[in-house]
Amino acid sequence: MRVERILAPNPGPFTGPGTNTYLLEVDGEVAVIDPGPVDAGHRRAIVDALGDRRAAAVVVTHTHPDHAPLANPLARELGCPAFGYAPGPEFDPDVVLADGSTVRVGAGELEAVHTPGHADDHLCLRLGDVLFTGDHIMGGSSVMVDDVAAYLRSLERLRGMELRRLYPGHGPEIDRPREVISWYLAHRRQREQEILAAVESGARTVGQVVEVVYADVDRALWPLAARSVCAHLRKLAADGRVRFGGGGDGDWDAAVSPAAP
């Protein structure tokens, strides 16, 4: 097995240095994982890196715009199917992968592990003790989460696997998977405690919670933080620990209050 990384030219606040496109080679056959955005130069870089090896599959971890849009056109060019959990805004899988489905690459079997949380349609992809984590786990930063309860369950599931290395959708590879997964779990639980404490000490809107919990974070990231706070508040409300009507995702003015005693 061999893994090559090709960095897409889309750096930014959501994408770090850019999206990692991976070429996973087994026995001379290659799976392209997360081809990224539609970009002629990036597409050329992927095709050049493939050389005369056979492409067995194009696989996407989830349908966000920095991961999936190039998948269908690239799969057509390479003459192989595009695989993913579900259709998305700019992606339509030729083959749908359910949890536990596999993609054959040479003699290897790349296994789909459904990991909702960052996105409902998110897959991690496992080959032996190596896991491609998409945006479920990123190299060196915390992750934008839409469904906190699902995200924590998905992390717990990954923590139970025997893994040697993680290849994230952004940032560098990770060689101590269990430590890093435990950090992510602890980080989420700490955020939850901080958000609950902010509500209990008087924050009454999503914006007020953000101002307390993310006081030391660049204000440019506060709209993003508001989405994360809403996700946490939905979970806390489901757990009966706060009252939260919801409001649109990341709604700054959405009201929150402590649960009735």
- CA–CA distance from 216 to each of 210, 225, 229 (Å)? 10, 12, 15
Identify which range of 63-71, 152-160, 179-187, 223-231 contacts Zn ion by CB under 5 A: 63-71
φ, ψ for residue 95 (rounded to 5)?
Answer: -130, 125
Helix (H) or strand (E) holding 233: helix 222-238
- Minimal distance in Å, beta carbon 168 to Zn ion? 11
Under rule CB under 5 A, residue 136 binds Zn ion: no
Under rule CB under 5 A, residue 64 binds Zn ion: yes
Our CB check for Zn ion shows the closer of 62 and 126 to be 62
- Minimal distance in Å, beta carbon 65 to Zn ion? 8
3-state secondary structure of 105: strand
- Minimal distance in Å, beta carbon 119 to Zn ion? 6
Under rule CB under 5 A, residue 135 binds Zn ion: yes
- Minimal distance in Å, beta carbon 23 to Zn ion? 20
Q: Give the orientation angle of helix 222-238 with respect to helix 206-213, to 10 degrees.
A: 110
Which phi-psi region, left, alpha or beta, contains residue 77 (left: φ > 0; alpha: ψ -120 to 50)? alpha
- Minimal distance in Å, beta carbon 118 to Zn ion? 6
- Residue 22 CA to residue 16 CA, distance in Å, equals 16
Our CB check for Zn ion shows the closer of 57 and 138 to be 138
Under rule CB under 5 A, residue 126 binds Zn ion: no
Under rule CB under 5 A, residue 192 binds Zn ion: no
- Minimal distance in Å, beta carbon 1 to Zn ion? 25
Our CB check for Zn ion shows the closer of 62 and 198 to be 62
Angle at 129 between CA 50 and CA 165, to 5 degrees: 75
**Which residues, 15 to 54, sit near Zn ion by CB under 5 A?**
none
Our CB check for Zn ion shows the closer of 46 and 145 to be 145
Under rule CB under 5 A, residue 227 binds Zn ion: no
Our CB check for Zn ion shows the closer of 53 and 187 to be 187
Q: Which two tokens stand for residue 97?
A: 């992968």
Return the beta strands (E) in 165-223 as ranges: 165-168
Our CB check for Zn ion shows the closer of 61 and 205 to be 61
Return the beta strands (E) in the chain as ranges: 2-7, 20-26, 29-33, 54-59, 82-84, 95-96, 102-105, 108-114, 123-127, 130-134, 165-168, 242-244, 256-258
- Minimal distance in Å, beta carbon 29 to Zn ion? 27
Residues that bind Zn ion (CB under 5 A): 64, 135
